[in-house]
Amino acid sequence: MEKRRVVITGMGTINPVGHNVAESWQAVRDGVCGIAPITQYDSSAQKVHLAAEVKNWDPTAVLDKKEVRHMGRYSQFAVAAAKEAMADSALNMEAEDSTRCAVIVSSGIGGISTTESEQTRCLQKGFDKASPFYIPSNIANMAAGRIAIEFGFKGMCTCPVTACAGGSNAVGDAFRHIRDGYAEVALCGGTEACVTPLSIGGFTSMRALHVGDDPTRASIPFDAERDGFVLGEGAGILVLEEYEHAVARGAKIYAEVVGYGATCDAYHITAPAPGGEGGARAMQQALEDAGGVAPELVDYINAHGTSTPLNDSGETAAIKAVFGQHAYRLAVSSTKSMTGHMLGAAGGVEAIFTAMALKDGYIPATINYKVPDPACDLDYVPNQGRAADLHYALSNSLGFGGHNACVLFKKWEG
Element housing 283 (H / E):
helix 277-289
Helix axes of 346-360 and 21-30: crossing angle, nearest 10 degrees: 70
DSSP 130-185: --TTHHHHHSTTHHHHHHHHHHT--S-EE----GGGHHHHHHHHHHHHHHTTS-SE
Query: How far, in Å, CA of 259 to CA of 330, rounded?
Result: 18
Query: How far, in Å, CA of 67 to CA of 83, rounded?
Result: 15
The answer to whether 382 and 369 have CB atoms below 8 angstroms apart is: yes
Query: How far, in Å, CA of 29 to CA of 387, rounded?
Result: 10
Write the CB contacts of 133 (distance below 8 Å, at least 6 apart in sequence): 70
How many contiguous H segments (helices) and E segments (strands) does the chain have?
A: 13, 14
For residue 256, give the 3-state DSSP assignment. strand
Query: How far, in Å, CA of 287 to CA of 72, rounded?
Result: 37
Catalytic residue numbers read 164, 304, 341
Taking residue 99's Cβ as centre, other Cβ atoms within 10 Å add up to 11
